[in-house]
Amino acid sequence: MKNQHLFRVLAVLGTAGLLLGAQPAAAETKATGKPAQVNAAQSKKAQSASAKVQYFVSPSLDDLPNDAYGEMVRKGEAIFYNTGKLAKPYAGNNLNCVNCHLDGGRKANSAPMWAAYVHYPAYRAKNNKVNTLAERLQGCFRFSMNGTPPAADSDVMTALVTYMAYLSKGAPVGEKMAGAGYIKMQKPAQAPSAERGAKVYAANCAVCHGANGEGTKGKDGQWAFPPLWGPDSFNWGAGMHRIDTAAAFIKVNMPLGKGGSLSDQEAWDVAYFMNGHDRPKDPRVKGDIAEGKKQYHEENCRYGEN
Ligand code: HEC
Ligand code: HEC
């Protein structure tokens, strides 16, 4: 599943004549078989301030036993890479967990699964209560996947949680780990601008994500480059719809293979531009959009503007 994902991305990069720009990340990941270490190096580049940070490295799935437990971890990985298809009843779009949680949820500063697993149960202001890990995953299904969350005791949830547990083997429970979540973006020097963001987008993103954020599909009909807005994207309630969160994700990870190459201002501008486009609405808001904005995403968000 993992290799298929890499091949799909590489195949489309090849067609787009982009191999130079993006192949190194993928090729190194494959060659070393230790994606988390490569990722640590990449993230370090993106975060020169904390250049010495050593990130946690998850074990390889190759070491898994061939028993029911091993099967469940592999199933979780498969769902993580192919969510739209393998968790279809719960996914409202065709994104995959791995589209935002890079390298199978191993990449530091890309909300890695090994750091999340040891962090929950945790209080979240978003719903003003302590969330179990299953509830946290349900949130990503509801907003990022624009879908209907699987039950806590469903097969899909068991597989995903077992995969996460395996990735965090040896990680300290209850500690905030380096590389957890996203980097904290400093406020930009200039207020984010859609006009500047459009230019950043055209120069750095359109080649993969399409001139209109529509994404690019591979031969198998799956997204090779996922859409950034429109009907098959995350909805208004998603973390990625916050400008600061999107800017932090983009700064470290995009353009794919060249993470860290945009300035902070460019990352803020392109995040602001991206989230000013049409996308599925917030499923929590039935009535007044202004009320919804106040309640859910007042800050750092272009909630309801599109
Ligand atoms: C469109 C991008 C996107 C997709 C697709 C997505 N997520 Fe997320 N996920 C995020 C963002 C952004 C956050 C951080 C939100 C925040 O805390 O503000 C997050 C947070 C999380 C967290 C908590 C991380 C932490 O450190 O607290 C987990 C666990 C998680 N996602 C799992 C998943 C799983 C499993 C899937 C697939 C079913 C998935 N996500 C799909 C964007 C996405
Ligand atoms: C070389 C191709 C490439 C370029 C250029 C690129 N991306 Fe991406 N982007 C990807 C791929 C592939 C993924 C999914 C990663 C995965 O599944 O491993 C992705 C994922 C994303 C996501 C999360 C998934 C989603 O659909 O919401 C966002 C947001 C994003 N890119 C924004 C950008 C922005 C903004 C730029 C320009 C600054 C950019 N990307 C440039 C290939 C690219």
Residue 35 lies inside a defined structural domain of this protein? no
CA of 255, closest atom in ligand 2 = 41
Its domain, for residue 94, covers 51-167
In this structure, the answer to whether residues 162 and 200 fall within a common structural domain is no
36, 55 Cβ separation under 8 angstroms: yes
Which of 55, 98, 100, 124 gets mutated to test ligand 1 (max ligand atoms within 8 A of its CB)?
Answer: 100
Taking the CA atoms of the chain, what radius of gyration do you get in angstroms? 18
Query: How confident is the model over 84-106, as a mean pLDDT?
Result: 97
Q: What is the pLDDT of residues 102-121, one digit of tens each?
A: 999 999 999 999 999 999 99
The token pair that represents 112 in the structure block:
């890695």
Nearest of 208, 206, 204, 199 to residue 260 by alpha carbon = 204
Contacts of residue 228, Cβ cutoff 8 Å, sequence gap at least 6: 205, 209, 213, 215, 274, 277
Question: What is the amino acid identity at position 73?
Answer: V
What is the residue with the minimal CA distance to atom 10 of ligand 1?
A: 239
In this structure, the answer to whether residues 72 and 143 fall within a common structural domain is yes
In this structure, the answer to whether residues 58 and 147 fall within a common structural domain is yes
- 36 confidence band (pLDDT: 50, 70, 90): very low
Query: How confident is the model over 58-78, as a mean pLDDT?
Result: 96
In this structure, the answer to whether residues 157 and 248 fall within a common structural domain is no
- 221 confidence band (pLDDT: 50, 70, 90): confident
37 pLDDT more than 60: no
In this structure, the answer to whether residues 159 and 213 fall within a common structural domain is no
30 pLDDT more than 50: no
The CB-side HSE value for 114 (13 A sphere, CA atoms) comes to: 24
In this structure, the answer to whether residues 144 and 208 fall within a common structural domain is no
Residue 90 lies inside a defined structural domain of this protein? yes
Q: What's the chain's average pLDDT?
A: 86
CA of 274, closest atom in ligand 2 = 35
CA of 9, closest atom in ligand 2 = 12
Residue 95 lies inside a defined structural domain of this protein? yes
- In terms of residues, how long is the chain? 306
Residue 268 lies inside a defined structural domain of this protein? yes
In this structure, the answer to whether residues 281 and 201 fall within a common structural domain is yes
Q: What is the pLDDT of residues 169-210, one digit of tens each?
A: 999 998 889 999 999 999 999 999 999 999 999 999 999 999
What is the residue with the minimal CA distance to atom 26 of ligand 1?
A: 116
In this structure, the answer to whether residues 161 and 230 fall within a common structural domain is no
In this structure, the answer to whether residues 158 and 208 fall within a common structural domain is no
Residue percentage of the chain with pLDDT more than 90:
71
- Please report which ligand is nearest the Cα atom of 6: 2
What is the C-alpha to C-alpha distance for residues 195 and 182, in angstroms, rounded to an integer? 25
Which carries the bigger pLDDT value, residue 6 or residue 17? 6
35 pLDDT more than 50: no
Residue 55 lies inside a defined structural domain of this protein? yes
2 pLDDT more than 70: no
12 pLDDT more than 60: no
Residue 218 lies inside a defined structural domain of this protein? yes
pLDDT for the residue numbered 7: 62
Question: What is the amino acid identity at position 55?
Answer: Y
If one counts the domains in the chain, the total is: 2
Which of 96, 101, 233, 243 gets mutated to test ligand 1 (max ligand atoms within 8 A of its CB)?
Answer: 101
CA of 238, closest atom in ligand 1 = 12
94: domain CATH number?
A: 1.10.760.10
Residue 41 lies inside a defined structural domain of this protein? no
Which of 3, 39, 207, 209 gets mutated to test ligand 2 (max ligand atoms within 8 A of its CB)?
Answer: 209
In this structure, the answer to whether residues 208 and 132 fall within a common structural domain is no
Q: What is the pLDDT of residues 251-281, one digit of tens each?
A: 999 999 999 999 999 999 999 999 999 999 8
What is the C-alpha to C-alpha distance for residues 225 and 216, in angstroms, rounded to an integer? 5
pLDDT for the residue numbered 87: 97
Cα 97 → chain centroid? 6
> Domain ends where: 116, 151, 167?
167
Which carries the bigger pLDDT value, residue 217 or residue 37? 217
- 299 confidence band (pLDDT: 50, 70, 90): low
Interhelix angle 68-81/155-167, nearest 10 degrees: 100
In this structure, the answer to whether residues 198 and 163 fall within a common structural domain is no
53 pLDDT more than 80: yes
Pocket of ligand 2 (CB under 6 A): 9, 18, 21-22, 95, 98-100, 102, 204-205, 207-209, 225-228, 234, 240, 246, 249-250, 254-257, 262, 270, 274
The CB-side HSE value for 33 (13 A sphere, CA atoms) comes to: 5
Residue 187 lies inside a defined structural domain of this protein? no
pLDDT for the residue numbered 41: 45
Q: What is the pLDDT of residues 105-164, one digit of tens each?
A: 999 999 999 999 999 999 998 889 999 999 999 999 999 999 999 999 999 999 999 999
pLDDT for the residue numbered 174: 85
pLDDT for the residue numbered 6: 66
Find the 17 Cα to ligand 1 centroid distance in Å. Answer: 31
In this structure, the answer to whether residues 218 and 156 fall within a common structural domain is no
What is the C-alpha to C-alpha distance for residues 201 and 198, in angstroms, rounded to an integer? 5
